[in-house]
Amino acid sequence: MEMSNKPKICVISKSFGQYCREALEILKTFSEVEVKSVKEYKEIVDIVKNFDGIIVGNEKINREVINNAVRLKIIARHGVGIDNIDIEAATEKGIVVTYTPQANSDSVAEYAIALILNIMRMIPKLHNLTINGGWNRILGYELMGKTVGIIGFGGIGRRVAKKLGGFDVKILVYDPYVKEDDIRKIGAIPSKLDELLKTSDIVTLHVALTPETKHLINREKLKLMKSTAYLINTSRGAVIDEKALYEALKKKWIAGAALDVFEEEPINPKNPLLTLDNIIVTPHNANFTLEALQRTDLMNAEDLRRFFNGQRPIYVANPQVYVK
């Protein structure tokens, strides 16, 4: 039997190729592709031993996995965040890590605004009341005329600001890594974090999870917020200290919260946040649109094609791997 010289790529991501068959077809033009459903961590440890490239979603690719990757040359993250991949370990081993920045920015930005509107008008609660035979109205609040604080002004934060333009709101932005002039260019106002928290009616989070941003919103910061304010998180769960948030919502330090992400995912059914009535929770769904998934698939496929054709991928998360 003739052996193939094509590289072997394993698709572990649950969504890659599901909504964009074109991406799978691109992979098949230059590689042997296997799609594997992974249920346990130890399966990943075994899988990486036999492939030249892998496409992963939220699966944990830690140092143990990478140390077992005897022939792995590239990890393609099917998504924007790379906090589930040990970048340092991959770089040490010379493994390239790619990702798909901005692919889902519009989807997440739209979802953040949807959560703002839903929590201010308590639409999910009204829906549940109505389908269960109730006809009770709940007093809500207009977004118009409010102050929205955006924490993190990368691709998603900027899009949130732009999309809020038609709502006649005042926009404050905290991001120490963005020039103040760049914030002002879109009509927003640069702000210190504490000042933003004190003055905003809505605070929406759009930062990556780093040691600096873990529990950025803690008990001290929540105490700064208005009692009428709402907190929105579509970034990463650990940016908020959930124990402190539970206390803030329970004691009405703030009016409510809408969360798409959590410190533990899937969320533990016993998480006390689920017992509150001034909260909206969704299952990390902000990026899950057909358009975003298609963009993500094609970005992954193109970078893998470039890599195995001897070219540098476009979206490299660890460019230092190319430094000789």
Which residues, 6+ apart, have CB-to-CB distance to 94 below 8 Å? 73, 321
pLDDT (0 to 100) of residue 119: 98
Which of 78, 158, 236, 295 is catalytic? The answer is 236
Task: Evaluate whether 81 touches 287 at the Cβ level (below 8 Å).
Answer: no
Task: Evaluate whether 291 touches 265 at the Cβ level (below 8 Å).
Answer: no
How many Å separate Cα 301 from the centre of its chain?
A: 20
- CATH code reported for the domain at 8-103+290-322: 3.40.50.720
Structure tokens belonging to residue 116:
């703002």
The pLDDT confidence band at residue 3, using thresholds 50, 70 and 90, is low
To the nearest whole number, what is the mean pLDDT of the chain?
96
pLDDT (0 to 100) of residue 1: 45
Q: Is 312 a catalytic residue?
A: no
How many Å separate Cα 133 from the centre of its chain?
A: 36
The segment(s) of the chain belonging to CATH 3.40.50.720 are 8-103+290-322, 105-281
pLDDT (0 to 100) of residue 231: 99
pLDDT (0 to 100) of residue 81: 86
Mean pLDDT of all residues in 181-194: 97
Which of 121, 215, 219, 284 is catalytic? The answer is 284
Q: Percent of the chain at pLDDT above 90?
A: 95
Q: What are phi and psi of 150, to 5 degrees?
A: -105, 120
Mean pLDDT of all residues in 142-147: 98
Q: Is 247 a catalytic residue?
A: no
The pLDDT confidence band at residue 323, using thresholds 50, 70 and 90, is confident
* pLDDT tens digits, 253-271: 999 999 999 999 999 999 9
Q: Which of 265, 226, 270 is nearest to 246 (CA)?
A: 270
Ramachandran assignment for 284, one of left (phi > 0), alpha (psi -120 to 50 degrees), beta (any other): left
Which of 71, 265, 291, 312 is catalytic? The answer is 265
pLDDT (0 to 100) of residue 211: 94
Classify burial at 309, counting beta carbons within 10 Å of its beta carbon; exposed 0-12, middle 13-18, buried 19 or more. exposed
Give the number of residues written for the chain: 324
Which residues, 6+ apart, have CB-to-CB distance to 57 below 8 Å? 12, 13, 14, 15, 16, 77, 78, 79
pLDDT (0 to 100) of residue 206: 98
* pLDDT tens digits, 209-253: 999 999 999 999 999 999 999 999 999 999 999 999 999 999 999
Distance CA 268, CA 246 (A): 14
Q: Is 265 a catalytic residue?
A: yes
DSSP per-residue letters across 121-142: HTHHHHHHHHHTT---------
Mean pLDDT of all residues in 280-307: 97
Which of 39-48, 129-138, 146-155, 284-293 has the weakest average pLDDT? 39-48
Structure tokens belonging to residue 255:
């009016």
pLDDT (0 to 100) of residue 39: 85
Which residues, 6+ apart, have CB-to-CB distance to 109 below 8 Å? 156, 159, 160, 162, 163
Mean pLDDT of all residues in 86-94: 97
pLDDT (0 to 100) of residue 324: 65
* pLDDT tens digits, 197-213: 999 999 999 999 999 99
- CATH code reported for the domain at 105-281: 3.40.50.720
